Structure formats: structure tokens, C-alpha cells
Structure 1
Amino acid sequence: MFVRIVKMSFEPSKIKSFLAYFETKKHLIRGFEGCEFLELYRDKENSNIFFTYSYWKAESDLENYRNSDLFKTVWATTKQYFNDKPEAWSVDKLVSLK
């Protein structure tokens, strides 16, 4: 399993639209084959910065998602709300404490 973190910065006037759109797509993204976990975070200091945090069984599962019609539709809509270039990291989880 590995983790995908995506940082997105939104035009302040478009945040409500993004959140409403994300609400309609979050279960489809989470339900995509290989996606085991999905969360959305908002920065406490800069309220127009958000992060998605997702767990994937394998890198091939994330690639399948990134090549899917679902991703293409979600990303095309979401990027209309950006005010800066997004950043993304794929990382391996080394330690997890509960």
C-alpha cells in the first residue's frame, strides 16, 4: 500500500463550488478499485489550500484511476477552481500508530 497526497490551492470565491463538487464525487473516488481510504483536509493557516490524502493498494491502482473517465472528469472540473499549480506526492507508509 502507498499513500497519495495532493495539495491544491483554490480561488477563494470558488471554494464553496469545489466543496459541493467534491461532495458529489468523493464516494465514487473512494469506491474506485484499489482505493482503500480517502480524506480531504483544509489548511488552518491558509483556508484556500486543501489536501487530499488517499491510500492505494498498488501504484497500478492509482494509475488505473488516473487513466479513468472518472478522474478525467473530476480533474477537469476541479482544476477550473485552482489559483495555483497543484502539487502531488506518492509516498510509502513506513509507520502507523493508532
Structure 2
Amino acid sequence: MLIRIVRMTFRPEKTEEFLEIFRNSKDKIRAYEGCQHVELLQDLHQPNVYSTYSLWDSEEHLNNYRGSELFGQVWPATKTLFAAKPEAWSYTSVTI
């Protein structure tokens, strides 16, 4: 299982536009092969900062999505709304 977190800082006046993009694409992303979960988080103190938290069967599944037509529509539209460069992290769960 791959855990993917992407932190995005939006221009304040563009947050509603981003939320509309997310609303329109979340179910399609969730339905993408290998995606187990996608949720949107909002920073507690910075309302124009959001993160996506997603769970993927593998890095290959995430990369397949990142090469998909769907990603090719969602990401370019989202990128135009940024106030800062996005940050992304990939994790696996550790059992101790």
C-alpha cells in the first residue's frame, strides 16, 4: 500500500475554483484502478492550503494514474491556481 500526500497552496481568490475541480474529479480518481481512497484536507490555520491524502495499491498504480488522461485534465487546471510550488510525499506503512 502506498500513501500519497500532496500539499497545495492556492491563491486565496482561486480556492473555490480548486474545490470545484476536486468536486468534479474525486469520484473518477477514486474509481481509478489501484486507488483505494482519496480525501481532501484543509490546513487548520491557512484556509487556502489543502492536501490530498490518497491510498494506492502500489507505486505502479499511482504512476499509471499520473500518466492517465484524467490526470492530464485535472492537474494542469489545478496548477494554474497555485500560489506556491506543491509538495508531494509517498509513504508506506511500517508495522513495528
TM-score band w.r.t. shorter chain: over 0.9
**Matches for 1:1-20 after TM superposition, within 5 Å:** 1-20=1-20
How does the TM-score come out when normalised to structure 1?
A: 0.94
The alpha-carbon deviation at position 69 of structure 1 amounts to 0.8
Instruction: State the identity %.
Output: 46
| Corresponding residue for residue 70 of structure 1 | 70
SS in 2 for 1:81: coil
SS in 1 for 2:50: strand
Measured on the aligned residues, the alpha-carbon RMSD in Å equals: 0.8
How does the TM-score come out when normalised to structure 2?
A: 0.96
User: What is the aligned residue count?
Assistant: 95
- Separation in 1, partners of 2:55, 2:16: 25
| Corresponding residue for residue 39 of structure 1 | 39
1:48 is the counterpart of 2:48: yes
| Partner deviation per Cα, 1:16-49 (whole Å, 9 max, x = no partner) | 1110111000000111000001100000111111
Q: Which runs of 5+ in 1 are unaligned?
A: none
> Structure 1 segments of 4 or more deviating over 4 A?
none
SS in 2 for 1:45: coil
- Separation in 2, partners of 1:37, 1:93: 15
- Separation in 1, partners of 2:63, 2:55: 13
- Separation in 2, partners of 1:31, 1:61: 12
